[in-house]
Structures are given as C-alpha cells and as structure tokens.
C-alpha cells in the first residue's frame, strides 16, 4: 500500500527516474521492470539501485520478498514512505559493499547502474556473492556506441559506459550463460491478434527487411548454470502508456513545427517586399526597427 503523504520528496535531477516523469523515460524504465516482474514470481529478489522505489514495489507484487538497495539515503527514506509492502524493505548501502549474507537471493536486478560507477568489477563480484548458485542476474546498461558515440550526447552522470564486447567480458567473469536483449524506443505501426495471443513475432522495416534497430540499451540475463536460464523467454516485447504520451507529444511538436515554418516563410516573403531603406541599421538609432515593425504588422 502506498502512503497518502510523503515527507521525503525527491527532486528530479535529469537522471533518476521518478513516476512523475513524462516522455521517453517512462517507457524505458517501466518496460524493464514489467519485463523483470515476469521472472520475479515467488523469488527472493534484490533490486539495486532501487531509486525512488517504484520498481521494487512492482516486483514485490509477485515476489516472495524484495530488498531494494540504494546508496542515496534520501531515496531510501522516500521509498520507505511512498512504497510499502509487507514483503518489501529498503536499505541504504554501496553497491560494492552490501551488508547481507552470501547467496541470499534467487533473482537480482540492476537497471542502469553499472555505467554510474568506476568500481564495476567490484560491483559484479558483490552481485555474484549475493546470488544463489542457481540464481539469475538481470542487468541493463546503455550501449555506448548508440547512446553516446553516434549521438554526440554526453550524460554527465555516466562515468564509464560500455560497448557490447566490454559488457560481455565483464559478465563472463562470473556468469558463463547469458541471454541478451536489446531495448530502444521507436515509433511503430503495430498489428496484433485481437481475440487470441500472438504466436509469432515479426519485425520489419518499410523496405521489407528486418526491422530490429541497433540497441540503445543492453538487457542481459546472466547465470552460472545453463538450466537457470531455461525458463527465460526472449519475446518481442512492447510497452506503452494508456495515453500514448510520447507519440502524442511528437505529433504536437510536428504540427507546431509545421505551423512555425509556415509563419517564418510568410514573414520572409513580407520582408522581401519591404524597401531596403526601411530596415537599414545604418539609417539612424533604432527608428528603422520601429518602421520595420509597423510595416510588418500593418
């Protein structure tokens, strides 16, 4: 049950996801936890970092128990107040030194954390210590090639992003068996069976070729034993909010841009009809601006 009032409020920094957020982050973050929930049923689960707490709370709805770990004490206090269940607890701790016994968890999830720390090997070793020998670790991480190198965007909160082979090499140290998925926000036309479950997944682009884009994020199931991954499926998975907010925002932005471009063209055409003497900056002080404004508005 969620508490009605939360004294410990969190400020959106541009990086940590809050449920009040809108846009792309909603799709990306909720998708990971909704996907993980399918494999948390009846399990003892560790969620690190737990952040605001919404993801741990979601997992606890089906898990035997969930512990959320976050290094930020204010985030833990917020989660303890806002997201409560009898089988859910939160703990403030570093990801490289978690005060819990060895082999405590069947399922450990870590979404968008590893790129925030320099001590990546130590963190994965700590996850390995806490995971049962037949347990499963689910991790997500931005693909440096797509996220940064191709876009030129630098996330100030990321200290060490990884490419595919770099992440795989680190995971191989502890978990020889892996199932990799890619994640990326995209605009799609979706067809689905309305009166039955889908039996096949097809992804095509408009040229008729494979429509799977380059992954913006890697989502990887890891295990020491191959049989631990036997229940894991790798479906083509879609998540959207009820209002299709990202698509609606794109449509509005597109229409606004069309209108602005039309207005700019109209102003350019009008400006071209105005005698040069009316908008010559050298004419005297700022009277030319007044004359130009009157001519355009008239």
pLDDT in tens, 214-263: 999 999 999 999 999 999 988 888 887 777 777 777 778 878 888 898 88
Q: Residue 177 in contact with residue 228, Cβ under 8 Å?
A: yes
Question: In terms of CATH architecture, what is 24-191+202-241?
Answer: 3-Layer(aba) Sandwich (3.40)
Q: Residue 213 in contact with residue 20, Cβ under 8 Å?
A: no
What mean pLDDT do residues 122-133 have?
A: 98
Closest by CA to 109, choosing from 54, 181, 55, 175, is 55
Which pLDDT score, from 0 to 100, does residue 60 have?
98
Average pLDDT along the chain: 86
Residue 289's pLDDT band (cuts 50, 70, 90): low
Q: How far apart are CA 29 and CA 25, in angstroms?
A: 6
- DSSP code, position 112: S
Residue 280's pLDDT band (cuts 50, 70, 90): low
- Could you tell me what percentage of the chain is helix, strand and coil, using 3-state DSSP and rounding each to the nearest 5? 35, 20, 45
Q: How far apart are the first and last CA of the chain?
A: 62
| Percent of the chain whose predicted confidence (pLDDT) is above 70 | 83
């Amino acid at each position: 049950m969620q508490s009605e009032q939360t004294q410990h409020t969190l400020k959106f920094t541009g990086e940590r996801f809050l449920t009040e957020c809108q846009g792309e982050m909603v799709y990306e973050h909720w998708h990971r936890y909704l996907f993980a929930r399918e494999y948390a049923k009846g399990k003892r689960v560790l969620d690190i970092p737990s952040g605001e707490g919404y993801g741990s709370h979601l997992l606890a709805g089906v898990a035997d128990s969930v512990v959320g770990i976050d290094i930020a004490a204010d985030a833990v206090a917020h989660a303890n107040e806002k997201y409560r269940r009898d089988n859910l607890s939160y703990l403030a701790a570093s990801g490289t030194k978690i005060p819990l016994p060895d082999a405590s968890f069947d399922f450990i999830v870590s979404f968008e954390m590893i790129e925030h720390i320099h001590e990546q090997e130590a963190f994965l070793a700590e996850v390995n210590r806490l995971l049962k020998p037949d347990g499963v670790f689910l991790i997500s991480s931005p693909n440096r090639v797509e996220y940064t190198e191709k876009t030129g965007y630098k996330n100030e909160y990321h200290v060490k992003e990884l490419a595919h082979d770099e992440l795989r090499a680190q995971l191989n140290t502890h978990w020889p068996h892996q199932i990799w998925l890619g994640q990326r926000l995209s605009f799609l036309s979706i067809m689905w069976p309305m009166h039955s479950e889908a039996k096949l997944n097809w992804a095509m682009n408009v040229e008729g070729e494979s429509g799977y884009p380059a992954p913006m994020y890697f989502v990887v199931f890891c295990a020491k034993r191959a049989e631990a991954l036997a229940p894991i499926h790798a479906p083509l998975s879609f998540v959207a909010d009820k209002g299709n907010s990202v698509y609606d925002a794109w449509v509005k932005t597109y229409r606004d841009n069309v209108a602005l471009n039309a207005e700019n063209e109209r102003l350019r055409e009008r400006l071209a009809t105005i005698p040069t003497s009316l908008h010559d900056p050298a004419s005297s002080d700022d009277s030319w601006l007044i004359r130009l404004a009157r001519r355009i508005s008239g």
